Amino acid sequence: MINLNIKYFVKNSLFILIFGLLISCSSNDGRPEYRERTLEAIYNNALYNLERGRFQQAAFEFDEVERQHPYSSWARRAMLMSAYTYYLQNKYDEAISSAQRFISLHPGNKHAVYAYYLIGQSYYERISDVARDQKITEMALESFIEIIRRYPDTDYARDAQMKVDLTMDHLAGKEMYIGRYYLKQSAFLAAINRFRSVVVDYKTTSHTPEALHRIVEAYISLGLMEEAKATASVLGYNFPNSHWYKDSYELVKSFP
């Protein structure tokens, strides 16, 4: 899925290969000390480090291209490569920052879609267990929806759609987790609200049949048999072969 890979930049940078590789001096944190160098030398050194898995040094050098030669076309490429290199190190905040800066400065660039994709991936790969806060999941979802909206006919949009589906399923899982907790605590109205959220906001996810069944359970616990039967009917109509419908049917049948 990554279009802006090393081979792309090497292919488009063949002319710089006539220059010798230049390994720069470094400060204590590994960042190159400022020393004026040609654009070709800095960029070539960045690629050299990247190809050898020295991601931190490569990121520093790509940043250096932008710092010393901010108005060159190579500065735009270096900014995006810097974001990618931070991403390879799992330094997601730095990757997002670099990608967002690229979008801000070059919104119409043909590679802006890749910057959007890097942002989405940097959120997506930090999605946590449903028991934890899901703010990162929501940000991943927003990022992928933005890709689909802006670049609907690209491979990135197709991959983003798949991740939207997975992310929506994860967010529905969070609602189910909270709803089950309320159900166990006999907080039936609070539980129903959570399960309804799944049915309404995440109806295309795999959690919808269980959510409807849990609503049936909650209504029965509240003594609201007509509401329980109506919900079971909705479950049976939409998911007739689901074991959740069979469970709901048996449950409702036991309370005439």
Quote the mean pLDDT of the chain. Answer: 86
Nearest to 201 by CA among 132, 140, 138: 138
The reported pLDDT for the residue numbered 148 is 98
Q: Tell me, what's the pLDDT at 34?
A: 60
Q: What is the pLDDT of residues 149-195, one digit of tens each?
A: 999 999 999 999 999 999 999 999 999 999 999 999 999 999 999 99
**What pLDDT score was predicted for residue 14?**
30
Quote the pLDDT of residue 18.
26
Assign domain 1-126 to its CATH architecture. Alpha Horseshoe (1.25)
- Ordered by start, the domain boundaries in the chain are 1-126
Q: Specify whether the CB–CB gap between 39 and 17 falls below 8 A.
A: no
For the stretch 110-120, pLDDT in tens is: 999 999 999 99
Determine the pLDDT at residue 121: 97
Reported residue count of the chain is 256
For the chain, residues with pLDDT lower than 50 are 1-28
Name the residue with tokens 């590789």: 21
Burial environment of residue 18 by CB neighbours within 10 A (0 to 12, 13 to 18, 19 or more): exposed
pLDDT given at position 31: 60
Which burial class, exposed, middle or buried, applies to 222 when counting CB atoms under 10 A from its CB (0-12, 13-18, 19+)?
Answer: middle
pTM of the model: 0.79
Tokens 């800095």 belong to which residue?
Answer: 42
